[in-house]
């Protein structure tokens, strides 16, 4: 079984994708890491990391994430409300 698939053959999503968020991952499932205000690390694709970052107060992108990816996460998060999937974004 491919790591990017579930046991039933469906495309798996990254670890930070919220269960309620229907959007698919974009790119690598381990492209970025978000650190919440308690120091917990959340690893996921750029798309879902941005969506999570938009809703986590005090969160940041891990300092070891390559600059281009970190900027992409911050730029996307800046344009999103918390839980963007609730309003169809």
Please, which pLDDT band fits residue 84 given cuts at 50, 70 and 90?
confident
More confident residue, 83 or 45: 45
Can you give the pLDDT at residue 86? 67
> Helices (H), strands (E): how many in the chain?
2, 3
Residue 89 has what pLDDT? 60
* pLDDT one-digit tens code per residue, 8-25: 555 679 999 988 998 999
- Structure confidence at residue 2 (pLDDT): 37
- Interacting residues of 23 by C-beta distance below 8 A, sequence separation 6+: 17, 47, 48, 51, 85
* Position 1 pLDDT exceeds 50: no
Length of the chain: 89
């Amino acid at each position: 079984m491919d790591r990017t698939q579930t046991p039933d053959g469906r495309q798996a999503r990254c670890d930070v994708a919220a269960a309620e968020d229907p959007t698919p991952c974009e790119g690598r499932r381990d492209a970025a890491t978000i650190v919440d205000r308690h120091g917990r690390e959340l690893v996921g694709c750029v798309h879902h990391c941005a969506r999570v970052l938009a809703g986590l107060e005090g969160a940041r992108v891990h300092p070891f994430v390559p600059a281009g990816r970190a900027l992409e996460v911050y730029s996307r998060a800046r344009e999103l409300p918390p839980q963007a999937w609730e309003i169809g974004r």
